[in-house]
Amino acid sequence: MPFSAERLAELEACRGINPIPADFDEFWAARIAEADAVPLDYEILPSDQIPELGSCTYYDLYFTGMEGARVYAKYAVPKVPGGGPVPLVLQFHGYPGCTRSWAEQSSWPGIGCAILSMDNPGQGGRSEDVGGFKGTTVSGHLITGVDGGPRNLYYVRLYQDQHILCRIVRELEGIDLSRVYVNGSSQGGGMGIACCALNPDLVNRASILYPFLSDFREVWELGADEIAYDGIRYYSRWFDADGERADEWFGTLGYVDSLSFAHLVRCPVLFGTGLSDVVCPPETQFAVYNALTCPKKHLLYPDFGHEEIQAFDDQIILFYQGEVDL
């Protein structure tokens, strides 16, 4: 289906409408300080599902996250002839769900990269969700804790856990810390942007595909608050039917919006959008991309929606090798 130049011009002009909190940077500096105060407590065990192979070793990594939760990540490391440090891909999964199969994770060791992929608490994997979120849950993790203020949001705690994982990365043997890459699509794309923003001295490059968690108010205004964003619709109808409190709770959600994190990203970013996406509206994705001030490139796929885009996957390999012009 042809994609009009007029429609593309509309998207390229998107700058986002969800409010970025005035104290956003200070808020997150304080949350990262809290995560840094958590003593590192982790163990790396041989995988209980996959045996060691001649080309790769598989591990289960468990660590203590915020509120004492036990958080899990798959960790696979290639065996490199002659030894030496290897690059690491930090990979984040979509919503809801957990880390992909060991077979899929093995694609990265296949090109010489270790991979570390975390299960988000309460989304179907091995990571523990200790709960304790104040107020209305309604539906979905996006609005979990919104009635308790920004510090109580599910994604605030998740990004703190993510930061603790990044602290662990710095201690891993055999990892080249000058080549730590972030990869994520949908929820993983939103998490990837936050990871780059909150760990700027660790992440070297990031590949981000159709990020979820982006420009929440625009999603609402477009009437696209369904599927992944359905928590916005349920919350607005059940607890703010006349919209009088919309500025308040969209302001709270601004603390975990990818649009708010974008200005803190420093590493080069390869960004992908399916222009037929009805799950994460292209308007929201363009708003985030336009807010990035780092070296960047936006790859567009007019006929693709919220689905596997193999052409983007192939570009990631080249991008990590520095072979994609930004």
pLDDT per residue, tens digit, the chain (326 aa), is 567 999 999 999 999 999 999 999 999 999 999 999 999 999 999 999 999 888 999 999 999 999 999 999 999 999 988 788 999 999 999 998 889 899 999 999 999 999 999 999 988 889 999 988 877 766 689 999 999 999 999 999 999 999 999 999 999 999 999 999 999 999 999 999 999 999 999 999 999 999 999 999 999 999 999 999 999 999 999 999 999 999 999 999 999 999 999 999 999 999 999 999 999 999 999 999 999 999 999 999 999 999 999 999 999 999 999 999 99
Confidence at residue 3, expressed as pLDDT on a 0 to 100 scale:
78
Confidence at residue 2, expressed as pLDDT on a 0 to 100 scale:
62
Confidence at residue 237, expressed as pLDDT on a 0 to 100 scale:
92
- Joined together, the tokens standing for residue 138 give 């309604």
Confidence at residue 228, expressed as pLDDT on a 0 to 100 scale:
92
How far, CA to CA in Å, does 284 sit from each of 13, 18, 290? 11, 10, 10
CA atoms within 13 A on the CB side of 226: 6
Residue from 214, 215, 193 nearest 270 by CA? 193
Confidence at residue 97, expressed as pLDDT on a 0 to 100 scale:
82
- Joined together, the tokens standing for residue 93 give 């999964």
